[in-house]
């Protein structure tokens, strides 16, 4: 059975498009029943796929059938309400449809002129987000600063570092140093490597009892580096570390940065979203002194990957670090200086219309809707933490500031790890781990779109049942 290999007509697209929309709606309705962590073994999916591309086109229905037969069993279901691993990468109907419109329009926003709406909608929505999260006015586009959508916080951190390197003088990156807490995300080290810093250029600053950066330790480290002839280039403060959701004291870190004329980047990839609720805006205390800031709507704000909002207080060093204008991109609007060309704010040249999905999400939910859902996740996490505290067999590794609960069994690391493996093997929940102070910790990250009380209760039951089973083993 083959098809013609002709282009899909608009009417065929209508028909197949409906089928795909229904397929996704069905997936949404059944994802809760699927084992969260894929049970696929290495090589299994590949073995189910032909070794060569088809000579003739295949009917669309057969491709969709393979989605069910080959692809779905090989998925770890990030959109399951029973997914509590890593950080969430949640999504929502309006976001998926925004992504669909973006794919359907197929415009390239590398330059303002290559689709003015792609640039201007992004600028406007990123200004909205400044309001939405209570971020400092200096990140708005109507002054020297502004925001842009990056694929990920990793890329945002890299761009921040490139701007910082430029502002520091564009000199030899191998004599420059970079600072982040020992709990910071691996993307800081990766960015420094990519940008040509020495392999040991990143200083991992000591943290306090809550795993937040100790600003005195930062100051001492920076001062020692200056004495030793290094040039401090950038400090990354993390608002919500991956390990334990620790919140670095941005205000105190900013004072150290100011004293040493060092770029301050704030990575709020996960927790920034909580800023939609006024009662959580303490998170952003001190951010008004930061040079750059990022958070990921694709983590906790119902916007599908990829969508990171990256802000700079001054766009000049960022653009200076990344702008090259070859003849074939020269155009009247760019030359006039009246417009923003976002290609100069990122690593790639091309860019798709990602602002659409964020615009769809914010308009669908409204500020109040977003607040309600974020509050609910935090409430569920706080309730989970209370259950842990009330259970003599378990303990919290840290007090959860928001929606991440870090816990361990009192019987020790081996039992905690065995409990995690056993609970994940049920397929009815998925959690991941980290180590804090060298001890094994289960992370329960609550932020999937459709996670409700009953899913959280089930997860807690499964963890306790798994512990009972592990402890009963000979």
Among 33, 61, 65, 101, binds its own copies (CB under 8 A): 101
Count residues binding its own copies (CB under 8 A): 161
Q: Are 156 and 322 in contact (CB under 8 A)?
A: no
**Is 186 in contact with 192 (CB distance < 8 Å)?**
no
Q: How far is it, in rounded angstroms, from Cα 162 to Cα 173?
A: 10
Q: Is 18 in the site for its own copies (CB under 8 A)?
A: yes
* 50, 95, 104, 357, 358 from 363: Cα distances, Å: 43, 10, 20, 10, 9
Q: 254 vs 354, which CB is nearer to its own copies?
A: 354
Residue closer to its own copies (CB basis): 254 or 362? 362
Distance, CA of 209 to CA of 245 (rounded, Å): 13
Does residue 260 bind its own copies (CB under 8 A)? no
Residue 199 near residue 223 (C-beta atoms within 8 A): no
By DSSP bridging, strand 146-150 and strand 308-312 are antiparallel
- Interaxial angle between packed helices 153-167 and 186-194, expressed in degrees from 0 to 180 and rounded to the nearest 10: 50
> Minimum Å distance from CB 392 to its own copies?
27
Applying CB under 8 A, the span of 212-220, 252-260, 342-350, 455-463 interacting with its own copies comes to 342-350
Question: Between residues 305 and 387, which has the closer beta carbon with respect to its own copies?
Answer: 305
**Exactly one of 335, 347, 414, 471 binds its own copies (CB under 8 A); which one?**
347
Q: Which residue in the set 333, 396, 411, 461 belongs to the binding site for its own copies (CB under 8 A)? A: 333
Site for its own copies in 42-81 (CB under 8 A): 42-46, 49, 51-58, 60, 62-63, 67, 70-79
Q: Which stretch binds its own copies (CB under 8 A): 113-121, 216-224, 309-317, 409-417?
A: 113-121
Q: Quick one: DSSP state of residue 409? A: E
Site residues (CB under 8 A) for its own copies, limited to 127-166: 127-129, 131-132, 151-152, 154-155, 158, 162, 165
Q: Please, which of residues 262-301 interact with its own copies by CB under 8 A?
A: 298
11 is a contact residue toward its own copies (CB under 8 A): yes
Least separation in angstroms between CB 254 and its own copies? 26
CB 264 within 8 A of CB 237: yes
Six-digit token string for 66: 């393979």
**Euclidean distance between CA atoms 378 and 88, whole angstroms:** 13
């Amino acid at each position: 059975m083959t098809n013609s290999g002709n282009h899909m007509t608009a009417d065929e697209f209508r028909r197949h498009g409906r089928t795909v929309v229904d397929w996704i709606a069905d997936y949404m309705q059944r994802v809760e029943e699927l084992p969260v962590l894929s049970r696929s073994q290495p090589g299994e999916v590949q073995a189910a796929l032909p070794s060569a591309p088809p000579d003739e086109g295949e009917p669309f229905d057969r491709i969709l059938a393979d989605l069910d037969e080959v692809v779905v069993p090989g998925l770890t279901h990030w959109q399951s309400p029973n997914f509590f691993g890593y950080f969430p990468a949640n999504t929502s109907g309006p976001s998926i449809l925004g992504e669909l419109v973006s794919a359907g329009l197929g415009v390239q926003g590398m330059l303002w002129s290559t689709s003015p709406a792609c640039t201007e909608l992004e600028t406007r929505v990123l200004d909205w987000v400044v309001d939405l999260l209570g971020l400092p006015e200096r990140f708005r586009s109507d002054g020297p600063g502004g925001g842009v959508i990056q694929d990920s916080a990793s890329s945002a951190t890299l761009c921040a570092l490139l701007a910082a390197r430029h502002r520091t003088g564009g000199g030899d990156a191998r004599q420059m140093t970079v600072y982040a807490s020992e709990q910071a995300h691996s993307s800081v080290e990766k960015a420094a490597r990519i940008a040509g810093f020495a392999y040991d250029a990143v200083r991992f600053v000591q943290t306090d009892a809550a795993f937040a950066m100790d600003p005195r330790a930062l100051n001492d480290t920076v001062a020692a580096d200056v004495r030793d002839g290094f040039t401090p280039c950038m400090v990354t403060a993390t608002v919500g570390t991956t390990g334990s959701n620790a919140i670095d004291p941005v205000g105190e870190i900013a004072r150290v940065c100011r004293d040493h004329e060092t770029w301050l980047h704030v990575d709020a990839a996960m927790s920034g979203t909580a800023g939609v609720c006024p009662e959580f805006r303490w998170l952003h205390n001190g951010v008004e002194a930061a040079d750059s800031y990022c958070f990921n709507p694709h983590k906790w704000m119902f916007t599908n990957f990829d969508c990171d909002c990256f802000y700079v207080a001054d766009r000049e060093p960022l653009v200076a670090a990344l702008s090259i204008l070859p003849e074939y991109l020269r155009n009247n609007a760019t030359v006039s200086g009246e417009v923003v060309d976002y290609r100069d704010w990122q690593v790639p040249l091309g860019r798709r219309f990602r602002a659409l999905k964020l615009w769809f999400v914010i308009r669908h939910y409204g500020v109040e809707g977003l607040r309600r859902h974020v509050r609910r996740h935090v409430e569920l996490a706080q309730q989970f933490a209370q259950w842990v505290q009330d259970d003599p067999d378990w303990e919290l590794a840290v007090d959860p500031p928001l929606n991440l609960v870090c816990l361990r069994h009192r019987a020790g690391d081996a039992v905690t790890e065995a409990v995690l493996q056993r609970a994940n093997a049920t397929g009815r929940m998925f959690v991941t781990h980290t180590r804090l102070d060298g001890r094994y910790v289960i992370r329960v990250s609550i932020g999937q779109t459709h996670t409700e009380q009953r899913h959280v209760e089930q997860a807690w039951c499964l963890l306790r049942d798994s512990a009972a089973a592990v402890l009963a083993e000979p």
